Structure formats: C-alpha cells, structure tokens
Amino acid sequence: MKDRFSSFHPIVNFVYFAAVLLFGMVFMHPILQTASLASALLYSIMLNGKKAVTFNVLYMLPLLLVTAVLNPLFNHAGVTILFYLKNGNPITLESIAYGVSAACMFVTVIIWFSCYNAVMTSDKFIYLFGKIMPALSLIFSMVLRFVPRYIAQLKVISNAQKCIGRDVSQGSILARARNGMTILSIMTTWALENAIETADSMKSRGYGLPGRTSFSLFRFDNRDKLVFLLMLGLIAVILTGAVLGENTMRFFPSIKVPDKSLLSFTVYMAYLGLGLLPVIINVLEEVKWKRIESRM
Amino acid sequence: MPEKPLAGSRLSRRTWLAAVLILVVIPATIVFGIVVLDDRKYYFISLLIVLYTMIPFALVFEKRKPQARELIVIAVLAAIAVAGRSAFFMLPQFKPVVAIVIIAGVSFGAEAGFLVGATAGFVSNFFFGQGPWTPWQMFCFGIIGFLAGILFQKGLLKKTKLSLCVFGGLSTFFVYGGIINAGSVTMFSSEFSWKTLAASYVSGFWFDIVHASATVLFLFVLARPMLEKLDRIKTKYGLIEPGGK
C-alpha cells in the first residue's frame, strides 16, 4: 500500500513527527502512552510491512522487557514494597510501574523514528532546512550523494587494480591488506581532486548568488492547509491538557493518575487522533480510490 | 577568493553565543524540566541541551557564508567517514569515524573538525537509522574534532603518529565513551542515579575499548597518508590554512 501521508507538504510531515516525538518523550500517562504506542505500531506496519513486524518483535519487544526490568533493580523509591532482594533492597510496585512506563516511552520513540525515516526523506529535510541553513544542508545532501558514489568509484579502482594483479582478492594476506590500503589511498586522492573540481564547477554556475531556486518543488495546497490546521487544532487541545496537568501521572511516592473528566477524555481523543492522523488519511484515500475505481 | 573573517572575531562571536546558551537557555531548560515536567524527563531535557551545544557552530558557519571549496572538502571528509563506518558495519564499534574526524580537525581547524564529526554522525544515521542517539553521536564526534583542532593550534597535539594515536585512543575512550554512556542512561532509564550511571559505564567498557583501539589502529595506518593528501590538496589549490593564519 502506498503511503499518502508522505505526499503531503514536507512542513506537514515534519510538524507531525516533531509533535508525536516530543509528546511521546514527555507525556507519561498510561492511556496517552498506549495511544501513542498503538498508533506508532500501526503506522510503522503500514509503512514498512513485514519488515516492521519483525523489527518490532525481534528488537523492540526484548528492549521493552529489558528496560522495564532494569528500572526496579536500580530504583527503590515508592511506598508499596512487594519483596526484598538478596542484598536487602526493596522492589516496589511503583518502580515496576515506572519502569514499564519508561520502557514504553523509549520503544514508542524508536518506532516513531522508524516511521520518520520512511517518510521524511533527505530531500524533504533539505527542502525545509535549505532556507534556514543553506550551507549545512548543502553539506548533508552532498555527503548523502558522495557515499554511494564513492562505493561505485571504489569498484572501478578495484577492477583496474585487478588487471595488474593488485586487488584485495589477490596475493598473500599481507599483500591483500597492502593492496587494500593502496586502493583506499587512490580513492581518497580521487575524492579530493574531484571535490575541488565540483566546487569550481559550482562556483562557475553561480553557487551562492541570490535569487536561486531549489530543486524539489512542493506546493502547499488546500489539502495540506486542511490537514495542517487540523493537526494544529489537535496539538492545541493536547497542550491545553498538558498545562492543566492532565497528561502526566505521579509515580513516586505512590501512584496517582489524574481524575477522569470530560476534559481528560477530550485530550485522550485528540492525542489518539493526532497519532492516527496518517493512518486515517491513508485509509480514507484508499476508500476514495476504491470507490472511483468501482465506478469506472 | 575572499578571505575568511579573522579568527578572533569569529571565536568571540561563537563564545558570546555559547555563553548566552550556557548561561541563559540551558538553565532555563533545566528549570522548565524540574518545574513543568516534574523533574522526570532527563532524557528529553538532555537531548535539548545537546542540541543547544551544536547551535552556535551551525549559526556561525552559516553567517560566514562559506565558499564552495570549503563546503565540499568538509562534505568529502564526512562522506569518507560515513563510507568507512558502513564498510566495517559488521564489526560493532569498530569504526574509523573518530580517526577521520581527528585528521580533519588537525588539517582544517577546529570548526571544520566539529562540522565533519557532526555531519558524519548525522548522515551515517540516514543509513543506519535515526534515533534518539543521533544528537549524542553528532555531539561526541563533533567535539572530538573540535578538540583535535584546538589542541593542534595550541601546539599540544603534533602531526606525529604517536601523538595522534594517544589523543585518538584517549578521546574516544573518555570523551566519546564518557558522553555516550551517560547519554544512554538518560535514554534507557529516565530515573537518574549514580548506580545506573556506573552500571552503564561498566557495561559500555568493552565497547569503548574496541572503539578506542579501532581509532588508534585507523590513526596509525591512515594519519600520515591522509594528512599528506590533505596538505597536498591545500597547497595545490590554495585552500586557506585553519584559523586564517
């Protein structure tokens, strides 16, 4: 399935991820954390399919368990003592709850980052930051381009060296290592010379002169406007909740969750809505597409 | 090619900016963390502080309107570091990034060292996966490059193999290991205690040893040829010496 959220304007993508990552790191409240974890999981599976499932089960689940167990071993605060360790330190219910909560938070943030990696491609990042820090984003984009280029060039050099019997696959182990070093050395010299040529070429094509346009073109159209405003509205509701103390709970010395009210319910719904925003967009677009298709 | 602004004014502007960040913004963030976020969000707050420390470098670099040649040399060195990291990806912690960052700092100055390190940390995570560890890695690589540049300028670090290897090993173990392990405490357990910190240092010990010896090994092999190549490029194309000497 194609991800439609990626086709929105980069600023929409970026603000969305900035918000979910920030809120994911700050809010420690069981309902909000579950909402965030569930939406992160759902979206990551939607984006990366099977790969995301294996990633989540193989890496994230053990990480979650280890982090959850680690906290009560080092943290002995809390009033509800469950039992004592051999060295006399108490294990408390509060520290276990806190460990689970912190572990959840950490795993949620990592899963959000895996979604971020899929959606915020480097050209979007450069489009957004090219205006604020042009020199640094140019460096980023050049490095991203150079890496595959160097790997390709390395193959060219290695093939040329193979013709004269000086490849890493030829000779004794010592000779192989020496050949490898020679190839890297040739590579470095080429990279540096090539870089200066590129720089001169950039200069002669007017790098740094005013009035230049950027390569990627993104239009901020009505669809973007709608989603952006919706997103800002949800963020405003969540922030109101944060200011009123609805979004966190107390762990120490004893567990205390803020009382449920109409307001807290609204905040939970807004948080879930924000987390699921890309999933909802994807589903809606898919339904729309199916309907158009069936009419043809 | 227009000359770079004098080193003195550049340093002072950065110092001024850094001072504002350190004296005003960072304490404000910590207070915000304690009062508003209930003093439980070490992870988030420390992430913010790490990001702040990188802002002065970025701002000063952008203000200076760097030349294409300068940009591209930094990009090449960062790309070599990233490619090197991906070439050895199957050996955990055996990465040449620190070695190349140190060489960059020595050859092109502290600022270039910082930028090569931070860029290499940032871009290599486009290949290995971004995460909450990215700012920490960027900062550690960057600050090692910055230190290398400063120490070389002050004459404490020489262009000899021995001097570079000693600096490389120590800085990887203490600066990189020291900061990254502290960072992982804030990542994994949001409850800070000296015991968790100690546990993190103990569990990270062998990783740091491997990383430090990899740096020493790479510096031993790469330092001389790389520095020679960079010097040659500088002489051939008239790139400016570090610090506008």
Is A182 within 8 Å of A195 (Cβ atoms)? Answer: no
Beta bridge partners of A265: none
The partner residue sitting opposite A26, judged by closest CB among B44, B72, B76, is: B44
Q: Among B36, B42, B47, B71, pick the best mutation site for testing chain A contact (most A Cβ within 10 A).
A: B71
pLDDT value at residue B47:
75
pLDDT at B213 over 50: yes
Residue B159, min C-alpha distance to chain A (Å): 19
Is B61 within 8 Å of A136 (Cβ atoms)? Answer: yes
> Token digits for B55?
């802002």
Q: Is residue A216 part of a domain?
A: no
Instruction: For residue A22, list chain B residues with Cβ-Cβ distance below 8 A.
Output: 44
3-state secondary structure of A90: strand
Spell out the residues 6+ positions from residue A63 whose beta carbon is closer than 8 angstroms to its own.
A103, A106, A107, A110
Residue B226, min C-alpha distance to chain A (Å): 8
Give A24-74 pLDDT, tens digit per residue. 888 888 899 999 999 999 999 999 888 888 888 888 888 888 877 877 777
| Whether A80 and A157 share a structural domain | no
- Map tokens 């963030």 to a residue: B29
| Mean pLDDT across A11-22 | 92
The full DSSP string for B92-131 is TT--SHHHHHHHHHHHH-HHHHHHHHHHHHHHHHHHH---
Q: Is residue A40 part of a domain?
A: yes
Q: Is residue A44 part of a domain?
A: yes
pLDDT value at residue B8:
45
| Whether A142 and A114 share a structural domain | no
pLDDT value at residue B4:
43
What is the extent of the structural domain holding A190?
A: 133-204
| Whether A148 and A12 share a structural domain | no
Q: From CA A279, how far away is CA A287, in angstroms rounded?
A: 12
pLDDT at A94 over 60: yes
Residue B16, min C-alpha distance to chain A (Å): 20
pLDDT value at residue B10:
52
Question: Which of the residue ranges A225-234, A242-251, B124-133 has the most confident prediction, judged by mean pLDDT?
Answer: A225-234
Q: Is residue A262 part of a domain?
A: yes
| Whether A21 and A168 share a structural domain | no
Contact A135 B75 (CB under 8 A): no
Q: Which of A108-122, A213-227, B180-194 has the lowest mean pLDDT?
A: B180-194
| Whether A143 and A112 share a structural domain | no
Separation of CA B120 from chain center: 9
pLDDT value at residue B2:
40
Give B146-177 pLDDT, tens digit per residue. 999 889 988 888 888 889 999 999 999 998 98
| Mean pLDDT across A160-171 | 86
Higher pLDDT, A281 or A247: A281
Contact A113 B132 (CB under 8 A): yes
| Mean pLDDT across A103-130 | 85
Of A148, A171, A204, the position where a domain reaches its end is A204
- Our count of domains for chain A comes to 2
Residue B173, min C-alpha distance to chain A (Å): 25
Please give the residue of chain B at the shortest CA–CA distance from A132. B62
| Whether A114 and A230 share a structural domain | yes
| Whether A99 and A144 share a structural domain | no
Tell me, yes or no, if A89 comes closer than 8 A to chain B by beta carbon. Answer: no
pLDDT, chain A, mean: 85
Residue B199: which of A148, A69, A70 has the closest Cα? A70
Q: Is residue A80 part of a domain?
A: yes
Regarding an ipTM greater than 0.95, the answer is no
Instruction: For residue A208, list chain B residues with Cβ-Cβ distance below 8 A.
Output: 65, 67-68
pLDDT value at residue A256:
76
Q: Is residue A73 part of a domain?
A: yes
Q: Is residue A211 part of a domain?
A: no
Q: Among A71, A74, A181, A239, pick the best mutation site for testing chain B contact (most B Cβ within 10 A).
A: A74
Tell me, yes or no, if B114 comes closer than 8 A to chain A by beta carbon. Answer: no
pLDDT value at residue B66:
81
Residue B81: which of B204, B218, B212, B220 has the closest Cα? B218
pLDDT value at residue A124:
86
Q: From CA A111, how far away is CA B119, in angstroms rounded?
A: 23
Of A143, A170, A204, the position where a domain reaches its end is A204
Residue A68, min C-alpha distance to chain B (Å): 9
| Whether A95 and A161 share a structural domain | no
Instruction: For residue A189, list chain B residues with Cβ-Cβ distance below 8 A.
Output: 229
pLDDT value at residue B6:
42
pTM: 0.75
Tell me, yes or no, if B58 comes closer than 8 A to chain A by beta carbon. Answer: yes
Instruction: For residue A109, list chain B residues with Cβ-Cβ distance below 8 A.
Output: 131-132
| Whether A17 and A113 share a structural domain | yes
| Whether A49 and A188 share a structural domain | no
Give B2-47 pLDDT, tens digit per residue. 434 444 445 566 666 666 766 677 777 777 766 665 555 666 777 7
Q: Is residue A217 part of a domain?
A: no
Give B52-102 pLDDT, tens digit per residue. 778 878 887 888 778 888 888 899 999 989 888 877 777 777 888 999 999
| Whether A175 and A30 share a structural domain | no
| Whether A137 and A244 share a structural domain | no
Instruction: For residue B42, list chain A residues with Cβ-Cβ distance below 8 A.
Output: none
